[in-house]
Amino acid sequence: MMTDPLSAKELVEKTYMYVDRVVKECRKNLLPQILSQKKPLKESEIGAYLGRTLEEWFAKRDKLLNIRWQQQSVKLGSKNDIHLTLEGRNRDAVFTLNCDAEYLPITDPQTGEKKFYLKSVNITAERSNFRRP
């Protein structure tokens, strides 16, 4: 007995459901780890640090999702916030993930140099950002 193949819409929905679970796992496991490191960064390094860290985590977690950070997508906000985009694809869908973070600028009293620390990080998968390739 053969089963009917899934429609294009069902394949995209199935991919969204899976990616959403993986993103929740990332929020639960990786993001607290990033925040607990309290790594001092230069303002220009924040996007690259977040993008590379997320890309590496997803590559270890599931190579078939093929999630890549889009370097040109980094947007620094006016309120110590940053937004970046990751693009992904598998055989059934292409999609984008959004990462938003807040950072805290701290000036070293001895050197006067500003260092930036991540204060909060969130990554989301929205159903509307998933489509057929």
61 pLDDT more than 50:
yes
pLDDT score of 1: 45
Could you count the other beta carbons within 10 Å of the beta carbon of residue 85? 18
**Dihedral over Cα of 48, 54, 55, 60: its sign:** positive
**Chain center to CA of 14:** 20
Tokens of 56: 């590496």
Tell which wins on pLDDT, 44 or 3. 44
Of 115, 119, 72, 116, nearest to 100 (Cα)? Answer: 119
20 touches 55 (CB < 8 A)? no
**What's the pTM?**
0.88
Q: Which helix (H) or strand (E) holds 52?
A: helix 46-61
Q: Over the stretch 11-33, which tens digit does the pLDDT of each residue have?
A: 999 999 999 999 999 999 999 99
- Give the residue-averaged pLDDT of 54-58: 96
pLDDT score of 97: 97
Say how far apart CA 111 and CA 59 lie, in whole Å: 38
Q: Over the stretch 83-123, which tens digit does the pLDDT of each residue have?
A: 999 999 999 999 999 999 999 999 988 888 889 999 999 99
Q: What's the CATH number for 8-131?
A: 3.10.450.630
129 pLDDT more than 80:
yes
